[in-house]
């Protein structure tokens, strides 16, 4: 199965959706869902394990992508914990860290996409 530009666009949408859901939790609009922080159950993680790793698992950017996603999810879990402990402003300010992880993930997605499109 070939990975297309559309697959990578969907991954980028999943990243934006994650950030939106996390923001909703930190602003009290929704309750945290454990799957939001699960590497394998998070929509971007599901995509990574179902679509990318089976075909391009040997590409170093894929490993870096997996690690960065894991770090972002750990950071998000930490922010939600802060929020639940009453440190609302600190948790919300921590969204900047999520944005930094997301920027790194975006860069890695681009590297994986370039690698995937170069392979026959």
Share of the chain above pLDDT 90, in %: 85
* Structural domain of 74: 5-118
Sign of the CA dihedral with 66 first, then 69, 73, and 74 last: positive
Given pLDDT bands bounded at 50, 70 and 90, which one contains residue 120? low
User: Total domain count for the chain?
Assistant: 1
pTM above 0.75, yes or no: yes
Tell me: pLDDT of 83 over 70. yes
Task: State the CATH number of the domain containing residue 40.
Answer: 1.20.120
């Amino acid at each position: 199965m070939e990975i297309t530009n559309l697959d990578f666009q969907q991954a980028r949408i999943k990243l934006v959706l994650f950030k939106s859901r996390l923001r909703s939790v930190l602003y009290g609009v929704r309750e945290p869902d454990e799957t939001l922080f699960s590497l394998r159950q998070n929509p971007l993680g599901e995509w990574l394990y179902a679509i990318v790793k089976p075909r391009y698992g040997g590409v170093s950017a894929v490993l870096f992508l997996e690690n960065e996603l894991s770090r972002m999810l750990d950071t998000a879990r930490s922010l939600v914990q802060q929020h639940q402990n009453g440190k609302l402003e600190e948790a919300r300010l921590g969204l900047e860290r999520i944005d930094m992880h997301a920027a790194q993930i975006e860069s890695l997605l681009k590297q994986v996409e370039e690698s995937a499109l170069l392979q026959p």
